[in-house]
C-alpha cells in the first residue's frame, strides 16, 4: 500500500521515495525474519560440524531436498489434503454444533447453571485421552478421527460463544429494550452481533486445536495424512522426510492462524478503542 | 399546559426482607407532573433514585407502589412514545452513525426504504451531516452523544428521557451540547425530562427544576425557573437570579452531600 501510494503522490522524486519505502519495508521484514534465519543456519551448521548426529538431525538443506522430493512426487499433497479435509470437516461440524448450543446456554441462565459444571468436567478432559473411546466405538476409520476433531474443537467455540452472549454490554441491551425490542429481536440485533468477535476468537483457537489433535490421532492409527506420514517416516528411518513433514505442518498451522487472525480483525474492527 | 406524564405516589424498593441486606427503598412516595412541551430537570445527589425514576417512566422497570401515567394511560412497558438518552451513549459499536439511527427507526417499524432518508435528516438536525458512515469508535464523545440524540429523536417520540447525557464529556463540549439541546427543543418542542447532578446545568436547561434527596429517594422541592427560555441572554450563568437560585438548590442539597 505504501509503495502504491508513493507512486501516485506527485513528489519531486517519486522513484527515490519508493525506493526508500521499499528499503524500510525490507528492513522490518528482515528484522522479523532474523530469528528464523539464525535457527535455520544453526540447523544447517550444527549437524555438519558433527555437534549432533546428522542421522538424527540432518542438515536443513537435506530436509529441504527431501521436502522437494515429497512435494514433486505428489505424496505431500495427498497426505496434506487428507489431513486438511479431516480437520476442516471436523471444525465445520464443531462450529455447526457449538455455536447454536453456546447461544442457547449463554442466553438461558437456568440452562447455564445446570450445564456449567458438566462443561467444566468435559473441557478439562484431554481430548486425546478419549481417543481410545472413540476408536472403540467408531473404529479406526475416518469417523473416529473426525469425531475426535469435532470433540476437541467444539469446546473453545462453545465456551467463547457462551462468554460472548453473557458479556454483552448491559447498557446496549437496556437501550434496545427502551426502543421496544422484544426478546427475539434483541437477540438477533444486539446479542448476536455483539458476540461475533468473541465467538470468532473461539473459532480461531479451535482451528489450531483441530490440527493439533488430528495429527496426534493420525499418528495413532491412519493410512494417510501428515501425522501418519511423519510417524511412518520415523518408523522407516526416513529421517529427512520426517522433518519435511513436521515443517509442512508448522507452515500450515502458521498460514491458518494468519488467515483466521485477518478475518478476526475484520470482524472486530468496531471494537477498536 | 396539559400534563404529559403524571407520576402518582410512586415507590420503588429493591431486594426482599428475607434476604441479607433486606429491602432498599430507592424511591418513596414520588408525585411529579411533567407538562407537555416543557423541559423538566431532576437534580439530586448520586443515589437519590433519579435514574430509577427514569427507568420506571421508560417502562424498563415496574414501580412497587403507585402508578405512572402518560397522557392519562398507565405505563406498562417501553414504547415508541418515549426514548432514552444515556450518559454512556449506548451506541451499537458495530453500526455506523447512520446505522445506529436506522436501528431505532427499524425498532419503531419504519419501512426499510424510508430509513436512510429519515436517519440522514436527524443526523443533520444534530449537526452531524458528513459523519454518517463513521463508526462510534471514530467519533468524539460529543459526537457520539449527538448520534445518540439523533437516534432518540428519530422515532418521533413525545418524550425524551435524558439520563445525565452530558456528564461524560468535557466542559466545553458540554456547554455546546446544552445549547444544541435548547436549539433542538425550540425546533421540535418535545417534552424533555432531563436528569443531572449539576445545579448549573439544571438551571441552564430547565423550565422547571425538581430537587431530589436521597435515602429514601424523594422530591423535596420543585419550582419554575424565572429566566427559562431566555436563550437570547448572552451569559445566563452570570445573572444575579441565576446565582440566587443556584444557592437555593445548593442549600437544599448540602445536608445530603454531608450525610
Q: What is the CATH number of the domain that holds B16?
A: 3.40.50.300
Give all domains of chain A, ordered by start, each with its CATH number: 2-26+35-57 (no CATH), 64-271 (1.10.3720.10)
Q: Picking from A48-57, A76-85, B128-137, B232-241, which range would have the lowest pLDDT averaged per residue? A: B232-241
Query: What's the pLDDT at A31?
Result: 83
Considering the domain architecture, whether residues B12 and B101 belong to the same structural domain is answered as: no
What does the block give as the cell for B80? 415508541
A-contacting residues of B 151-170, CB under 8 Å? 155
Q: What span, in angstroms and rounded, lies between the C-alpha atoms of A218 and A243?
A: 16
Q: What is the mean pLDDT of residues A212-231?
A: 90
Which residues in B lie closer than 8 A to residue A185 (C-beta atoms)?
A: 107
Number of domains in chain B: 2
User: In this structure, is residue B117 part of a structural domain?
Assistant: yes
Looking up cell 441565576 gives B242
Considering the domain architecture, whether residues B140 and B198 belong to the same structural domain is answered as: no
d(CA A188, nearest CA chain B) in Å = 12
Q: Picking from A110-114, B12-16, B79-83, which range would have the lowest pLDDT averaged per residue? A: B12-16
Residue span of the structural domain in which B242 resides: 3-81+159-258
User: In this structure, is residue B198 part of a structural domain?
Assistant: yes
Which residue from A177, A178, A271 is facing B93, i.e. has the nearest CB?
A271
Considering the domain architecture, whether residues B169 and B253 belong to the same structural domain is answered as: yes
How many CB pairs below 8 A link A and B? Answer: 57
Q: Which of B103, B124, B156 is the last residue of a domain?
A: B156
What does the block give as the cell for B148? 445518540
Query: What's the pLDDT at A23?
Result: 85
What does the block give as the cell for A31? 528484522
DSSP strands (E only) in chain B: 3-14, 24-35, 39-43, 65-70, 73-74, 82-85, 159-163, 191-196, 208-213, 218-224
In a mutational test of the B interface, the residue from A167, A170, A172, A179 whose CB has the highest number of chain B CBs within 10 Å is A179
Q: What span, in angstroms and rounded, lies between the C-alpha atoms of A64 and A46?
A: 16
Q: What is the mean pLDDT of residues A166-180?
A: 93
Q: Picking from A23-37, A92-106, B77-91, B210-224, which range would have the lowest pLDDT averaged per residue? A: A23-37
Q: Do A175 and B79 touch (CB under 8 A)?
A: no
Query: What's the pLDDT at A5?
Result: 44
Considering the domain architecture, whether residues B29 and B47 belong to the same structural domain is answered as: yes
Question: Kind of pairing, strands B191-196 and B24-35?
Answer: unpaired
In a mutational test of the A interface, the residue from B52, B93, B147 whose CB has the highest number of chain A CBs within 10 Å is B93
Query: What's the pLDDT at B16?
Result: 73
Q: Give A28's pLDDT tier (boundaries 50, 70, 90).
A: confident
Is the bond preceding residue B216 a cis peptide, omega within 30 degrees?
yes
Q: Picking from A62-76, A127-141, A196-210, B135-149, which range would have the lowest pLDDT averaged per residue? A: A127-141
Which residue from A172, A178, A190 is facing B84, i.e. has the nearest CB?
A178
Q: Do A270 and B137 touch (CB under 8 A)?
A: yes
Say if A109 is an interface residue toward chain B (CB within 8 Å).
Answer: no
Say if A34 is an interface residue toward chain B (CB within 8 Å).
Answer: no
Say if A94 is an interface residue toward chain B (CB within 8 Å).
Answer: no
What pTM does this model have?
0.81
**CB neighbour list of residue B142: distance below 8 Å, 6 or more residues apart:** B169, B173, B176, B177
User: In this structure, is residue B24 part of a structural domain?
Assistant: yes
Query: Tens of pLDDT along A36-52?
Result: 899 999 999 999 999 99
Q: Do A179 and B104 touch (CB under 8 A)?
A: yes
Considering the domain architecture, whether residues B203 and B233 belong to the same structural domain is answered as: yes
CA distance readout (Å), A163 to A106, A118, A157: 7, 16, 10
Q: Give A17's pLDDT tier (boundaries 50, 70, 90).
A: confident
Query: What's the pLDDT at A99?
Result: 96
Q: Which of B135, B156, B177 is the last residue of a domain?
A: B156
Closest CA to A238 of A66, A11, A106, A81: A66
Q: Give A27's pLDDT tier (boundaries 50, 70, 90).
A: confident
Q: Residue A48 is inside which H or E element, if any? A: helix A14-48
User: In this structure, is residue B126 part of a structural domain?
Assistant: yes
Say if A272 is an interface residue toward chain B (CB within 8 Å).
Answer: yes
Q: Give A125's pLDDT tier (boundaries 50, 70, 90).
A: confident
Considering the domain architecture, whether residues B189 and B72 belong to the same structural domain is answered as: yes
Considering the domain architecture, whether residues B145 and B240 belong to the same structural domain is answered as: no
Considering the domain architecture, whether residues B69 and B169 belong to the same structural domain is answered as: yes
Say if A261 is an interface residue toward chain B (CB within 8 Å).
Answer: no
Q: Residue B172 is inside which H or E element, if any? A: helix B171-188
Q: Is the model's pLDDT at A152 over the cut of 80?
A: yes
Q: Do B155 and A271 touch (CB under 8 A)?
A: no
Q: Is the model's pLDDT at A6 over the cut of 50?
A: no
Q: Which of B156, B181, B211 is the last residue of a domain?
A: B156
Considering the domain architecture, whether residues B177 and B198 belong to the same structural domain is answered as: yes
User: In this structure, is residue B216 part of a structural domain?
Assistant: yes
Which residue from B59, B86, B103 is facing A171, i.e. has the nearest CB?
B86
Considering the domain architecture, whether residues B216 and B99 belong to the same structural domain is answered as: no
Q: Give B3's pLDDT tier (boundaries 50, 70, 90).
A: confident
Considering the domain architecture, whether residues B99 and B196 belong to the same structural domain is answered as: no
Looking up cell 467408531 gives A138
Q: Is the model's pLDDT at A124 over the cut of 50?
A: yes
pLDDT above 70 as % of chain B = 93
Which residue from A177, A190, A194 is facing B78, i.e. has the nearest CB?
A177
Query: What's the pLDDT at A272?
Result: 63
User: In this structure, is residue B169 part of a structural domain?
Assistant: yes
User: In this structure, is residue B86 part of a structural domain?
Assistant: no
Say if A173 is an interface residue toward chain B (CB within 8 Å).
Answer: no
Considering the domain architecture, whether residues B71 and B177 belong to the same structural domain is answered as: yes
Amino acid at each position: 500500500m505504501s509503495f502504491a501510494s508513493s507512486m501516485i503522490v506527485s513528489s519531486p522524486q517519486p522513484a527515490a521515495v519508493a525506493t526508500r519505502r521499499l528499503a524500510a519495508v525490507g528492513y522490518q521484514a528482515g528484522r522479523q525474519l532474523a530469528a528464523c534465519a539464525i535457527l535455520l543456519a544453526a540447523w544447517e551448521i550444527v549437524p555438519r560440524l558433527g555437534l549432533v548426529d546428522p542421522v538424527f538431525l540432518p542438515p536443513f538443506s537435506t530436509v529441504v531436498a527431501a521436502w522437494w522430493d515429497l512435494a514433486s512426487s505428489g505424496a505431500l499433497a495427498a497426505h496434506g489434503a487428507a489431513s486438511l479435509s479431516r480437520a476442516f470437516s471436523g471444525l465445520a461440524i464443531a462450529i455447526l454444533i457449538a455455536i447454536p448450543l453456546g447461544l442457547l446456554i449463554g442466553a438461558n441462565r437456568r440452562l447455564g447453571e445446570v450445564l456449567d459444571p458438566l462443561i467444566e468436567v468435559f473441557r478439562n478432559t484431554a481430548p486425546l485421552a478419549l481417543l481410545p473411546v472413540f476408536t472403540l466405538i467408531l473404529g479406526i476409520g475416518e469417523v473416529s478421527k473426525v469425531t475426535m476433531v469435532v470433540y476437541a474443537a467444539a469446546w473453545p467455540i462453545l465456551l467463547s460463544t457462551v462468554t460472548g452472549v453473557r458479556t454483552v454490554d448491559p447498557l446496549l441491551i437496556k437501550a434496545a429494550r427502551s426502543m421496544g425490542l422484544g426478546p427475539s429481536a434483541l437477540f438477533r440485533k444486539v446479542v448476536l452481533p455483539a458476540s461475533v468477535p468473541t465467538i470468532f476468537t473461539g473459532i480461531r483457537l479451535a482451528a489450531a486445536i483441530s490440527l493439533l489433535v488430528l495429527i496426534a490421532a493420525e499418528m495413532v492409527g491412519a493410512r494417510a495424512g501428515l501425522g501418519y506420514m511423519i510417524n511412518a517416516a520415523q518408523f522407516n528411518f526416513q529421517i529427512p522426510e520426517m522433518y519435511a513433514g513436521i515443517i509442512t505442518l508448522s507452515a500450515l498451522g502458521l498460514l491458518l492462524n494468519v488467515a483466521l487472525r485477518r478475518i478476526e480483525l475484520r470482524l472486530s474492527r468496531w471494537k477498536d478503542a | 399546559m396539559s400534563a404529559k406524564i403524571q407520576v402518582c405516589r410512586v415507590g420503588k424498593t429493591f431486594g426482599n426482607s428475607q434476604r441479607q441486606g433486606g429491602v432498599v427503598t430507592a424511591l418513596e412516595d414520588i408525585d411529579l407532573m411533567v407538562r407537555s412541551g416543557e423541559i423538566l430537570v431532576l437534580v439530586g445527589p448520586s443515589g437519590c433514585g433519579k435514574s430509577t425514576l427514569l427507568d420506571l417512566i421508560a417502562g424498563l422497570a415496574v414501580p412497587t407502589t403507585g402508578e405512572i401515567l402518560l397522557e392519562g394511560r398507565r405505563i406498562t412497558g417501553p414504547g415508541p412514545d418515549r426514548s432514552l438518552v444515556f450518559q454512556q451513549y449506548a451506541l451499537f459499536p458495530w453500526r455506523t452513525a447512520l446505522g445506529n439511527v436506522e436501528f431505532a427507526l427499524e425498532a419503531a417499524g419504519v419501512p426499510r426504504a424510508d430509513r436512510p432518508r429519515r436517519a440522514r435528516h436527524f443526523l443533520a438536525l444534530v449537526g452531524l451531516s458528513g459523519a454518517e458512515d463513521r463508526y462510534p469508535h471514530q467519533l468524539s464523545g460529543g459526537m457520539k452523544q449527538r448520534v445518540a440524540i439523533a437516534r432518540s429523536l428519530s422515532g418521533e417520540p413525545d418524550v425524551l428521557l435524558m439520563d445525565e447525557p452530558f456528564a461524560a464529556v468535557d466542559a466545553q463540549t458540554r456547554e455546546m451540547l446544552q445549547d444544541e439541546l435548547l436549539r433542538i427543543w425550540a425546533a421540535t418542542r418535545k417534552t424533555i425530562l432531563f436528569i443531572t447532578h449539576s445545579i448549573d446545568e439544571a438551571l441552564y436547561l430547565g423550565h422547571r427544576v425538581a430537587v431530589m434527596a436521597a435515602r429514601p429517594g424523594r422530591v423535596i422541592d420543585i419550582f419554575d425557573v424565572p429566566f427559562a427560555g431566555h436563550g437570547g441572554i448572552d451569559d445566563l450563568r452570570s445573572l444575579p437570579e441565576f446565582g440566587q437560585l443556584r444557592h437555593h438548590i445548593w442549600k437544599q442539597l448540602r445536608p445530603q452531600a454531608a450525610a
